[in-house]
Amino acid sequence: MTFSPSFEDRTDFDNATRGFIRALKPCIIRNADGRVVWNNDEYDFLHNTECPATAEPKLWRQGQLNSIQGLFQVTDGIYQVRGFDISNMTVVEGEKGVIVIDPLTSVECAAAALALYRGHRGDRPVTGLIYSHSHGDHFGGAQGVLQSGTSTSIPIIAPEGFMEEATSENIYVGEAMRRRARCMYGVRLPKGPDGHIGCGLGMITSSGTMSLIPPNVTISHTGEERTVDGVRIEFQMVPGTEAPAEMNFYFPERKALCIAECATHCLHNVLTLRGALVRDAKAWARYLDETAVLYGQRADVLFAGHNWPTWGRDEIVKFISEQRDLYAYLHDQTVRMMNTGLTGIEIAERFTLPPALQMAWHAQGYYGSVSHNVKAIYQRYLGWFDGNPAHLWEYPPAEAGQRYVDCMGGVDEVVRKAREYANNGDVRFAVTLLGHAIAAHPEHKESRLELASAYKKLAYGCENATWRNFYLSGAQDMYSPGRRDNPEPPKNEYRAALSVEQLFTLLSVELDGPRAVGESFMIDLHLADKKESWRLILSNGALTYRMTKSQDRSMGTSGLRLTLTKNELVQILNGRGAIPDNSAEGDVGLLFKLMKLVGASKTPASVL
């Protein structure tokens, strides 16, 4: 039996508007060149019309809540700016200025959020900055509230492991993640009742300049306390939950708990559709239980990096406890059913949450879904293989598609059968059949149009925003084969924040191995400002690297030795820098050869 929350319950709307001070009108934010990087006004249709047939009612409701924008007072001395990005920015007033928590994704949006606050409370200086965790929508706008090179007297606080995780998540498969993210967040979709209506956690990510100011204060253990600008803060470490490096924190004098992104007003992702390491749902539940014990009877208000706050101790304990039970139940029952021999797909089809969680608005699957979270938990423990030998060595889609189409009597017959299934209500299987047809015959127009129609039918019934966005993005691609409207990507200003080892890791995974198999050479780099020496080794199509002593040549002689700074190295790797004069010994051509093997665009500009 399935249950559903009551649409007559207006508590979330009351909380999402509580403490409202003022909105930004129009809520349109531009970069220095005049390009729009955020436009919340595009979602006004959510408040002007009833839920249409092209949207699932609960997801429509979530879009209405998340699109409420402006400056809000959370409690005495704590304010939030919501609706300026997919995430929230929080401002805590101290004795001399303000502490900013999680400065959004973009510099421009963070600056606009701080300006809105200052327009109400005065031009207070930023006296502290806190990153709750290592995801870009919680640190990317840092230079919008603090300039790079800010005095080290201003504490910039982050959990242990923050820099490594913040800079490394996208190193290995960054481009693949970005392609998926465009579909997951629906960045190409038009805003409207039959298009983009949000992402569950918020509306969409902003598209301005991303930055990162490294922290100068690290929190390493639960119970650690800091006083910033006269404000006392208690910290709880929660690594491996929603992010590898994450922390919650409590303001005793304000009786306010920031729960980072560990408990939001929706089911979160155990594995995001854009891709990432599978999160530990069991640890997530354990940390939420610890949060309830530490702060549940002390906090009068709970706020997070997304959605809206929760007020009242009883409501806070209920909220945290139900979120805890949500992840615990997902984990434990998936593992139990795994041990009975069921596969991830089979478990996902049978899985039902307890009635109380089904009826809780904050446990609905707007961002993460029960279906794909169950499969993620299965993947964490047992991997991609489901134990069926028939699935060990399957054909890739194009080759499998050709055989399926042949078995069914040709592509036209596949389309006919798919249309028949769709008309009878089995759109899921229609999509499977049409997927085989298009894999075998990518330009077959009737297949593409039929699949686009099927995708839209699935999208319009989705409670999950990211599923809806994926389906609608897929429909766009079917209507326009070969077309990829890739909007201007956000400008990243934090590549220089990567460690030297991370820079070489990035270089190694960009190397075109098949083209490089015939090359074998070594390059020694001495980074004068870091007082570090590194050796790059290209052999058998693999680029490896190690830190060395500057004069250590016991493992062979390199063909090129360079002395430069880390910043000069970054510029060279970005294809924008030149090799400093009188810095090279040996064959400079080896560096050009290496850079061509990782992409011509990264070839050094010149040799001065």
Q: List pLDDT tens digits, range 381-438.
A: 999 999 999 999 999 999 999 999 999 999 999 999 999 999 999 999 999 999 999 9
pLDDT score, position 489: 47
b/e map of 283-309 (b: 16 or more CB within 10 Å)?
A: ebbbbbbbbbebbbeebebbbbbbbbb
What single string gives the DSSP state of each residue in 163-206? HHHHHHTTTTTHHHHHHHHHHHTTTTSPBSTTSB---SSSS---
CB 160 within 8 Å of CB 219:
yes
Whether residue 26 is predicted with pLDDT greater than 80 in this model: the reply is yes
DSSP state of 210: B
Q: Output the pLDDT for position 578.
A: 81
Tell me the residue type at 291: T
Query: pLDDT for 581-604, tens place per residue?
Result: 778 899 999 998 999 998 744 555
Residue 115: count other Cβ atoms within 10 Å of its Cβ: 13
pLDDT band, residue 2 (cuts 50/70/90): confident
Query: Is the bond leading into 26 cis (omega within 30 degrees of zero)?
Result: yes
Residues 266-301 have pLDDT tens digits of 999 999 999 888 999 999 999 999 999 999 999 999
User: Which of these, 214, 184, 179, lies nearest to 489 by C-alpha position?
Assistant: 179
Q: Is residue 419 classed as helix, strand or coil in its secondary structure? A: helix
Q: Which amino acid is at 198?
A: G
Direct distance between the N- and C-terminal alpha carbons of the chain, in angstroms, rounded to an integer = 73
User: What is the arithmetic mean of pLDDT over 330-346?
Assistant: 97
Domains and CATH numbers, the chain: 10-333 (3.60.15.30), 394-479 (1.25.40.880), 492-598 (3.30.1050.10)
Q: Does the pLDDT value for residue 554 go beyond 90?
A: no
pLDDT for 605: 47
Q: Which two tokens stand for residue 497?
A: 């924040």
DSSP 310: E
Closest CA to 333 of 355, 348, 318: 348
> pLDDT tier at 606 (50, 70, 90 boundaries)?
very low
Q: Which residues of 59-85 are buried (b: 16+ CB within 10 A; e: fewer)?
A: bbbbbbbbbbbbbbebbebbbbbbbbb
